[in-house]
Chains A and B, each alone.
Chain A
Amino acid sequence: MDTLPKGLKTAGHEAIDEAPTPVAAYRRDFNLLRDNGRALDPPWLKRQRAAAMDVFESAGFPSMKDEDWHFTNVAPIGGKHFPLSDSSANVHPDALARFTFGESWHTFVFVNGRWTSQGSSGLPDGVTVEALSLALAAGNSAPENRLGTAAVAGQSAFTALNSAFAEDGALIRIAAETAIDVPIHLVFLSDASSYGRVSHPRNLIVAERNSSCTIIESYGSVGGESYFTNAVSEVFLADGARLSHYKLQDESRSAFHVGTIAVEQQRNSRYESFSFATGAELSRTNVYTTLAGDAAEAVLNGLYMVDGKQHVDHQTRIEHVAPNCPSHELYKGILDGRSHGVFNGKVYVHPEAQKTDGKQSNNNLLLSDEARVDTKPQLEIFADDVKCTHGATVGRLDETALFYMRSRGVGMTQARRLLTYAFAADVLEKIELEPLRNALEAQVLERFTA
């Protein structure tokens, strides 16, 4: 078993370290919390947590023999025990600016997994954003019927671990027929005290009938180094609801990040997602949506951009349960250094899902000889009247185009930079939120400037 980082070798942590395996250490953490803290947890949540802990304990962390984890070795996460982050602090506005792009969105900040904001003042009528911890303590009934129903503990060890331990996150509700123009921005930051520790952000987003909203989740570090973020967001879109949901993963380069977004879509709803992943030593993002109602639409896009020894993994799953649903997916990857990218996109078309229109692509650009990509688009179709395509590519910068640009006086570095940007341009164009699109375009242009 790996040891804890040096700075944390206090007597108390030595005691935790005595557990024979990391899984056993999580079990003991869980029992301690169950018996001592958590007094405010309602009975249903206590039951849910206990069941999730049982699932995690019996499953353990996935291995590369597991089909869903075939190209990602989670040993750096599963090989040691990360105690819960237990400190919280406010973040200086200057430090926050890097994550908010200078935009005056409705911003809610979490530090080491804990809510630090003042509440949802300034939000329009019909929209509430609350700390999940406070909502649960206040006996808010909304989570009871939803929590754990889209992201099911039994389906993933990481979701189970989150469900057993999650204490905080955002509970967002958009009332029926409400359109909110200014985006809601959830910022999850880890500071220096998170060293060797884990936070389990848990978000619940409920968009009621014909509502419309933009939500951004940002994950990053303000002085945090090696820590583990294990986030779960559940999204429920009622009939005709529309949500643009952006996830920006810019964790510390020595951090670990596993994030699952699980969505349920009812009739005529539209879910647009964009995953922008540039950070972490090892990251995995899952985006799962179930098209449960007629003519619901899912648009899943993403861009991952890594270098050094970074490992970035995306898994998407689109369940076409109802008929007449379009789903469109474009993920692109730019990999430099000795980085490793993984994409696994699954589209299941259930027997009732006639007239499904599914399109999925994954394109990768390798900037170095050592970078590597494993891509696996998957289609499983059990209906007979559908239109589905998928494809994947892995390529390098076009030498002819490089020469063309150089022959016009553009130097090698700038030419590579422009072509790299050009590779990402079409997926970035799909971001409907303009200030965010501009900010991410700038990041792509700057990332590979030597």
Chain B
Amino acid sequence: MLIIRGLHASIGEKEILRGIDLEVKAGEIHAVMGPNGSGKSTLAQVLAGHPAYEVTEGTVTYDGRNLLEMDPEFRAQEGIFLAFQYPIEIPGVTNAYFLRSAYNEIRKAKGLEELDPLEFLDLMEERTKVVEMDQAMMNRSVNTGFSGGEKKRNEILQMAVLEPRLAILDETDSGLDIDALKIVSRGVNALRRPDNATIVVTHYQRLLKYILPDFVHVLANGRIVKSGGKELALELEEKGYDWIPGAAA
């Protein structure tokens, strides 16, 4: 589904990704772990198409197509979803209106008919249950005045509605208490299907107790320095990152 080869990316003059190689197949969950400043979030943002990052070298193919040539909205319409580490507040636009706009844009791109507000309301009633979210949140401005946990749950709700093929969760566990963490994880697991894939970017192992990865990669200084199965996450939890060659600060 996703093939990353020799990916280099910079912000301004600063190079952050220095040659990433990664392959993700349908049905897989990959965890990307690593110390702060290793480039995890940059990788997530580059995959979603954040315009502040410049790709200087390498290729990313998604379903056989050049992902790097696609605008962010087109990537989303093609099934890529980034759950933000810091979800953005948009005062003045309700959650319901925003999500319906996004949902219908994606439907249009697929050649499907748009849902009217009432039909969309039915869909929302069903999907808000996945993340145990109060319907009333839908009439509030996007993320505005939401607690940290509410924002993260809102990201997973968006994911549940937009049904991406490749979901990238950027530090979705940060700032969550254990109950919120469970709800978010349950949501992610409920959305898992054989034809979609997930990349979980995280600093801590604790999220991986609830979302079991097939592969774990350690990112350090802009490169993947070690890959392994889910047991690697436990080893990192125990020993930290310093024992891995190339991961030392």
Write the B44-61 contact mask toward A (1 if CB under 8 angstroms, else 0): 000011111000000000
- Considering the complex, give the chain A residue whose CB is closest to the CB of B105: A409
Restricting to B22-68, which residues have a CB under 8 Å from any CB of A? 48-52
B106 at the A interface (CB under 8 A): yes
Cα–Cα distance between A437 and B12 once the two chains are bound (Å): 44
A418's partner among B71, B98, B109 (CB-CB below 8 A) is B98
Check A407/B106 contact, CB under 8 A, given A418-B98, A422-B91.
no
**Cβ–Cβ contact A409 & B92, under 8 A:** no
A409's partner among B73, B97, B141 (CB-CB below 8 A) is B73
Chain A residues whose C-beta falls within 8 Å of the C-beta of B123 in the assembled complex: none
A403's partner among B51, B109, B158 (CB-CB below 8 A) is B51
Check A409/B50 contact, CB under 8 A, given A401-B88, A421-B92.
no
A426 at the B interface (CB under 8 A): yes
- Considering the complex, give the chain A residue whose CB is closest to the CB of B48: A407
A400 at the B interface (CB under 8 A): yes
Ranked 7 nearest A-B pairs via Cβ: A422-B92, A425-B92, A409-B76, A408-B102, A406-B72, A404-B88, A409-B105
- Considering the complex, give the chain B residue whose CB is closest to the CB of A403: B50
**Cβ–Cβ contact A414 & B105, under 8 A:** yes
A192 at the B interface (CB under 8 A): no
Q: How large is the interface on A (under 10, 10 to 19, 20 to 34, 35 or more residues)?
A: 20 to 34
Chain B residues whose C-beta falls within 8 Å of the C-beta of A407 in the assembled complex: 48-50, 72-73, 75-76, 81-82, 84
In this complex, how many residues of chain B approach chain A with their Cβ under 8 Å: the count is 32
- Chain A residues with CB under 8 Å of chain B are 398-401, 403-412, 414-415, 418-419, 421-426
Cα–Cα distance between A411 and B72 once the two chains are bound (Å): 8
Cα–Cα distance between A400 and B88 once the two chains are bound (Å): 7
Given contacts A403-B50, A404-B87, 12 further A-B pairs with CB under 8 A are A399-B52, A403-B49, A405-B102, A406-B71, A407-B50, A407-B73, A408-B98, A409-B106, A418-B90, A418-B93, A423-B92, A425-B92
**Cβ–Cβ contact B102 & A410, under 8 A:** yes
Smallest Cβ distance from B88 to chain A, in angstroms? 4
Q: Could you give 11 example pairs across A and B, Cβ below 8 Å? A: A398-B88, A403-B50, A407-B76, A407-B81, A408-B81, A408-B102, A409-B103, A414-B101, A418-B98, A419-B93, A422-B90
**Cβ–Cβ contact B91 & A411, under 8 A:** no
- Considering the complex, give the chain A residue whose CB is closest to the CB of B104: A409
B77 at the A interface (CB under 8 A): yes
B162 at the A interface (CB under 8 A): yes
Cα–Cα distance between A403 and B52 once the two chains are bound (Å): 10
Chain A residues whose C-beta falls within 8 Å of the C-beta of B50 in the assembled complex: 403, 407
- Considering the complex, give the chain A residue whose CB is closest to the CB of B77: A409
Chain B residues whose C-beta falls within 8 Å of the C-beta of A410 in the assembled complex: 73, 98, 101-102, 105
Output the residue of A399, A401, A409, A414 with the most chain B CB within 10 A: A409
A426's partner among B91, B97, B158, B162 (CB-CB below 8 A) is B91
Chain B residues whose C-beta falls within 8 Å of the C-beta of A426 in the assembled complex: 91-92
Write the B95-126 contact mask toward A (1 if CB under 8 angstroms, else 0): 00111011101100100000000000000000
Chain B residues whose C-beta falls within 8 Å of the C-beta of A400 in the assembled complex: 88
Cα–Cα distance between A41 and B97 once the two chains are bound (Å): 57
Cα–Cα distance between A414 and B162 once the two chains are bound (Å): 17
A408's partner among B76, B92, B141 (CB-CB below 8 A) is B76
